[in-house]
């Protein structure tokens, strides 16, 4: 039998993030998607029977569900027959970096994860390909009753398995869309977080996902429950090296923010430009509660990414602040969705997009205000910056207002860097490249200022990398 030919993508230089590690000795399942593969994943994790049946039902949904023919950029370059859904480095999860295999530890050290943990984090989970390899939380945080572990570990804990069963797959059901079904069939890794009522964490928790394998998928699941009056900042970091074969990321994030609670969910997605990023994120918010999204989206060949917030309670608030950077070979379809069902709720959306070298940015905002959602207040702002004449930026707002008391505003601007601005900065001693990078950094500042310092620095470094050679 001739070897399968993998889907090809353009060669893109990802500089600092493009180092790879050998897969020698790794456990790698066959490409494709079959009931046998799903059963093998479940058996390997020694899951309860209900989870296996959940997976198999989701697999059936995946095979019978079609993609919308008129939605977003093409994903014809993604062929599941050429994607391995499970790759494991065959190492046990550890709570000590010294016990992590040297090549994997070196990866996370290059990415700055152990240093960030020591300086500014309450806990860290690090996933490498399909499995969590490191997970740890400060003792004083655990003493407050906070649970931060993997979903696999929670499923083996008699206290937490019923909680996982109660919430898992309820906010993002497998039938939501084709790749949600795929996720639930083959999910592996991710985080389970439970913050008890009234507990406020002084430092963020972070999960970092690194996809090292070529021609593989990553399908982590994040489940966070913030109980009444609690407060949490959770950070999600993602990266992958470049390959010529297509890779897939189809994770899922389910967030439950109870009455009077606050959750900030910050993301820096730095996938390589052979990645199809088809991630799904959703939050359910109670009364007098607050949901904050901070999103930086870099890398990936194609993205479908629309974090959604459902404001079910009264007097609640949602803030979404995001930036997307599309360069050569990139078609990034991103945005956010807000559904308001309670009364006296507010929502604010502030996004930035940057396009260069023929990159395409599409921003979609969808706001739905229910019939009983009296006195809703919503503001949506989208600003786009194109750095040349061959790039593209589109804004597609959707407002579905079913209550006459609502106040909804939307503004969108699309422009280029002024020549006068560049000339002024050059007259002050900047090179043209430095001047353009300075303007772009200023444009992105509303997002970077919302991130912890070290992550703001990372985002600015990513912008600097993307701006190399961006003259014109």
Query: In tens digits, what is the pLDDT along the chain, a chain of 472 residues?
Result: 334 333 333 333 444 565 667 677 789 999 999 999 999 999 999 999 999 999 999 999 999 998 877 888 999 899 999 999 999 988 899 999 999 999 899 888 888 889 888 888 999 999 999 999 999 999 999 999 999 999 999 999 999 999 999 999 999 999 999 999 999 999 999 999 999 999 999 999 999 999 989 999 999 999 999 999 999 999 998 888 877 788 999 999 999 999 999 999 999 888 888 899 999 999 999 999 999 999 988 889 999 999 999 999 999 999 999 989 998 999 999 999 999 999 999 999 999 999 999 999 999 999 999 999 999 999 999 989 888 889 999 999 999 999 999 999 998 888 887 778 888 888 888 888 788 888 887 877 777 777 766 667 767 777 776 666 444 3
What does the alpha-carbon distance between residue 307 and residue 321 come to, in Å, rounded to a whole number? 11
412, 399 contact by CB (below 8 A): no
DSSP H helices in 361-431: 419-427
Rg, Å, the chain Cα set: 22
Tell me if 136 sits within 8 A of 124, measured CB to CB. Answer: yes
Interatomic CA distance for residues 442 and 328, integer angstroms: 22
Question: What distance separates the 2 farthest-apart alpha carbons in the chain?
Answer: 69
Angstrom distance (rounded) from CA 389 to CA 81 = 37
Of 247, 382, 354, 265, nearest to 302 by C-alpha is 247
Among 32, 18, 464, CA closest to 275: 18
Q: What is the DSSP letter of 66?
A: P
Token duo for residue 461: 């470094």
Q: Is the dihedral of CA 325, 326, 332, 335 positive or negative?
A: positive
C-alpha neighbours within 13 Å on the C-beta side of residue 294: 22
Note the pTM of the prediction, 2 decimals: 0.91
User: CB neighbours of 370 closer than 8 A, spacing ≥ 6?
Assistant: 339, 340, 341, 402, 403
Give the DSSP letter string of 286-330.
-TT-EEEEEEEEE--SEEEE--EEEE-SSS-EEEEEEEEEE-TT-
The continuous run of DSSP H or E covering 116 comes out as helix 113-120
Question: Using CA atoms, how far apart are residues 235 and 233, in angstroms rounded to an integer?
Answer: 7
**Which two structure tokens, joined as six digits, stand for 352?**
């930035």
Q: Please tell me the number of Cα atoms within 13 Å of 19 on its side-chain side.
A: 10
Residues 464, 465, 466, 472, CA torsion sign: positive
- Cβ–Cβ < 8 Å for 332, 302: yes
Residue 4 backbone dihedrals phi, psi, to 5 degrees: -65, 140
């Amino acid at each position: 039998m001739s070897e399968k030919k993998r889907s090809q993508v353009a060669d893109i230089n990802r500089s600092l993030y493009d180092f790879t590690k050998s897969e020698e000795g790794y456990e790698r399942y066959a490409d494709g998607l079959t009931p046998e593969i799903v059963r093998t994943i479940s058996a390997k994790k020694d899951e309860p029977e209900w989870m296996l049946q959940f997976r198999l039902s989701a697999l059936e949904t995946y095979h019978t569900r079609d993609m919308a023919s008129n939605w977003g950029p093409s994903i014809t370059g993604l062929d599941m027959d050429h994607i391995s859904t499970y790759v494991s480095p065959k190492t046990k999860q550890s709570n000590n970096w010294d016990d992590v295999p040297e090549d994997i530890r070196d990866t996370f050290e290059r990415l700055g994860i152990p240093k960030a943990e020591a300086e500014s984090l309450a806990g860290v989970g690090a996933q490498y390909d399909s499995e969590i390899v490191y997970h740890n939380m400060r003792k004083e945080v655990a003493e407050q009753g906070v649970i931060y572990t993997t979903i696999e570990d929670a499923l083996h804990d008699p206290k937490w398995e019923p909680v996982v069963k109660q919430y898992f797959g309820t906010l993002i059901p497998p039938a939501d869309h084709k790749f949600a079904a795929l996720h639930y069939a083959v999910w592996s890794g991710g985080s389970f977080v439970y913050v008890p009522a009234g507990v406020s964490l002084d430092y963020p928790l972070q999960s970092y996902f690194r996809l090292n394998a070529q021609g593989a998928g990553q399908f982590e699941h994040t489940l966070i429950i913030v109980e009444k009056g609690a407060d949490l900042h959770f950070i999600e970091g993602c990266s992958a090296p470049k390959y010529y074969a297509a890779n897939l990321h189809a994770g899922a994030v389910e967030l439950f923010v109870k009455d009077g609670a606050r959750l900030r969910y910050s993301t820096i997605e730095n996938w390589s430009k052979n990645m199809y990023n088809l991630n799904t994120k959703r939050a359910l918010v109670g009364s007098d509660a607050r949901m904050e999204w901070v999103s930086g989206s870099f890398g990936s060949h194609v993205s479908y990414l629309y974090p959604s917030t459902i404001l079910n309670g009264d007097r609640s608030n949602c803030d979404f602040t995001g930036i997307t950077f599309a360069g050569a070979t990139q078609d990034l379809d991103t945005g956010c969705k807000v559904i308001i069902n309670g009364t006296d709720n507010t929502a604010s959306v502030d996004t930035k997009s940057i396009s260069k070298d023929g990159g395409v940015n599409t921003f979609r905002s969808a706001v739905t205000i229910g019939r009983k959602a009296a006195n809703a207040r919503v503001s949506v702002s989208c600003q786009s910056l194109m750095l040349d004449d061959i790039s593209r930026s589109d804004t597609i707002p959707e407002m579905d207002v079913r209550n006459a008391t609502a106040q909804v505003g939307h503004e969108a601007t699309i422009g280029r860097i002024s020549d006068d601005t560049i000339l002024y900065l050059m007259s002050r001693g900047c090179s043209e490249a430095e001047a353009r990078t300075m303007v772009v950094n200023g444009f992105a500042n509303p997002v970077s200022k919302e991130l912890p310092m070290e992550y703001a620095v990372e985002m600015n470094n990513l912008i600097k990398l993307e701006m190399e050679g961006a003259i014109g």
